[in-house]
Amino acid sequence: MLPENGPLPPSGDDMTAPRYDVIAIGNAVVDVIASCTDELIEDLGLNRGGMTLIDEARATELYDAMPPARELSGGSAANTLAGLSTLGLQCAFIGQVADDQLGEVFRHDMRATGIDFDTPARSGEPATGRVMIFVTPDGERTMNTFLGAGQFLPASALDEDLIASGAILYLEGYLWDPEEPRRAMRRAIEVARAAGRTIAFTASESFVIERHGDDFRAMIDEGLIDILFVNEHELATLTGESDFDTGVNAVAGKVPVLVATRSEKGAIAVANGERAETEADPVAKVVDTTGAGDQFAAGFLSGHARGEPLGMCLRRGAIAAAEVISHYGPRPEAQLTKLMAEKL
């Protein structure tokens, strides 16, 4: 079981102190972000405010229909690592890119952020993944994801020594959908467990739970998840409970740490019976909600990895989330360490 504050300590003759604070496995994608009208969302038949998996042909169609756009390296777990690295934690990423230009862009951006990323590129088709993100005037983002090479991350690409060297293994629910990376993440859980490490899991999106909820619930029941991140919609899908508190109570006793976000209503966390809450950090103008949950996880984990109280971890999450929704893109632009010092 996970201690109340902080990752599992190494134990046993073969256990060594972790080299990394957090190692994440997730989608390696490039975000293509554009502002648009509500009418364009309707005209293109998009799932407003949600995330839809698309093929390469649809990705090309949407790209052609987009207003002028920005291209930024993204991916949920990769975004979280970017926030953690900015906050001074040592991080490494495992994900699959293709041997193409976008793959090189992604690799450069990760390393430039101070994150170790050495998964070999995949030759041939498909191309590196990309997410077409349409942002309406209210700041809501509608995501359309072509996973590309990311959905072919094999277990053979895992550096098991690397996984064992991380205090926390952070897994992205989005990547649970394709079969090959799902097998890789199951193996990563085994390796991390054998090394006495902490497993953190983000559910990512309700549609992922609809497709793989039995898997997730089984992992929770088997005690394979130490820290679970969900938003209120994902929690309802996971538990079948429409009432938020009822849903929290249904899960809180099964995972050592549960973190549930509620957008403008703040967030709660329950750790071994202790419950803490935080309000959303105020934002002058919501520009783009892309990456809000990713950066909340970064802020929370930055405190948790250092053994800070539960309420402080939540405050860090709220501050990081507020920063990222105040500008375009899923990764921090401000100096988060300075921001935290000012607000905490």
Q: How many domains does the chain have?
A: 1
Q: What is the mean pLDDT of residues 119-129?
A: 93
- Model confidence at 139, pLDDT cuts 50, 70, 90, reads confident
Q: What is the mean pLDDT of residues 59-78?
A: 92
Residue 141 has pLDDT above 90, yes or no: no
Residue 167 inside a domain? The answer is yes
Token pair for residue 264? 């403008």
Residue 138 inside a domain? The answer is no
Report the CATH number at residue 167. Answer: 3.40.1190.20
Domain that holds residue 278: 20-28+74-128+147-343
Highest-pLDDT range among 72-76, 108-112, 177-181, 329-333: 108-112
Q: Is the peptide bond preceding residue 126 cis, with omega within 30 degrees of 0?
A: yes
Cα 93–Cα 254–Cα 211 angle in degrees, nearest 5: 60
26-50 confidence digits (pLDDT tens): 999 998 889 999 999 999 999 999 8
Residue 155 has pLDDT above 80, yes or no: yes
237-250 confidence digits (pLDDT tens): 999 999 999 999 99
Computed over every residue of the chain, the mean pLDDT equals 92
Residue 55 inside a domain? The answer is no
Q: Give residue 9's pLDDT.
A: 41
Residue 199 inside a domain? The answer is yes
293-344 confidence digits (pLDDT tens): 999 999 999 999 999 999 999 999 999 999 999 998 889 999 999 999 999 9
Residue 329 inside a domain? The answer is yes
Token pair for residue 196? 């006495």
Weakest mean pLDDT among 2-11, 189-198, 222-231 = 2-11
Q: Give residue 29's pLDDT.
A: 92
User: What angle in degrees, to the nearest 10, is found between the helix axes of 244-252 and 232-239?
Assistant: 70
Q: What is the mean pLDDT of residues 90-115?
A: 95
Q: Give residue 15's pLDDT.
A: 57
Hey, CA dihedral for 337, 341, 342, 344, is it positive or negative? positive
Q: Give residue 177's pLDDT.
A: 84
Prediction pTM value = 0.87
108-121 confidence digits (pLDDT tens): 999 999 999 999 99
Residue 64 inside a domain? The answer is no
Residue 271 inside a domain? The answer is yes
Residue 10 has pLDDT above 50, yes or no: no
Q: Give residue 317's pLDDT.
A: 98
Residue 296 inside a domain? The answer is yes
Q: Give the rounded percent of residues in the chain with a pLDDT score beyond 90.
A: 82
Q: Give residue 147's pLDDT.
A: 86
- Model confidence at 284, pLDDT cuts 50, 70, 90, reads very high
